[in-house]
Amino acid sequence: MLRDEAGLFEAIISPAFGFEEIPAKKPHFDAAVFTSRAGVSYAPEGKGRVAYCVGDATAQMAQNAGYVPLSANGTSEELVALILRERPTGSLLHIRGEKSLGSVTEKLIERGINCSDVIVYRKVRNAPTVEMVTSVGRASHLIIPLFSAETVSILGGWGVPLDGCIVVAISDMVANSALGLKPAKVVVSESPDMRGMAAATARLIA
């Protein structure tokens, strides 16, 4: 998306984490709830079932897996609101990771929705790549898009000098977490999704 929207830039790619499957028996469900694309990766085939998705990227992945997606295009709170508006009467299954923010299942149960959850993956922290360590030191204009507070925590433990960088944060919560990296500037995306993050980052690339 940045290649399409921004000027020339050098990309430093260093994944903060990977994913590891947690074998789990998945109960029968009429519709799925996804708060991440990784959840879709470890879910059963959709077979035409509805999937309530936190954002458009997750919804697209769910569609590719055979679900009929409905996107909240936002946060876990907006996902809960979407489901409550739809008021599904069947059984919902939140297919998620070991750590999941927003207490989606609990909030739905409290409002009378038949929902359970199953943990199908965990995040595994990565060390910084050699390219990351060598490139950051010579970067004159370092921009770091951040999609979660957990990623901020991982980067903070890398021991790579990131102070003086410019952070593009997907939300105010992530922006506040990123202050620990000692950035020169923090920009918050106008919308909490990939398109909003790409637009905010592109504006910073000369």
d(CA 63, CA 56): 10
d(CA 168, CA 142): 11
User: Is 132's pLDDT higher than 80?
Assistant: yes
Do the domains spanning 2-16+126-204 and 18-123 agree at the CATH topology level? Answer: yes
**Domain definitions of the chain by residue range:** 2-16+126-204, 18-123
pLDDT for the residue numbered 206: 66
- Condensed to tens digits (0 to 9), the pLDDT of residues 35-54 reads 999 999 999 999 999 999 99
Which CATH fold would you assign to the domain 2-16+126-204? Rossmann fold (3.40.50)
User: Is 195's pLDDT higher than 90?
Assistant: no
User: What CA–CA distances, in Å, run from 191 to 130, 176, 195?
Assistant: 32, 16, 8
- Condensed to tens digits (0 to 9), the pLDDT of residues 4-37 reads 888 889 999 999 999 999 999 999 999 999 999 9
Average pLDDT over residues 177-206: 92
Sheet with 185-188, edge to edge strand ranges: 143-146, 166-169, 185-188
Q: Is domain 18-123 classified as CATH 2.40.50.100?
A: no
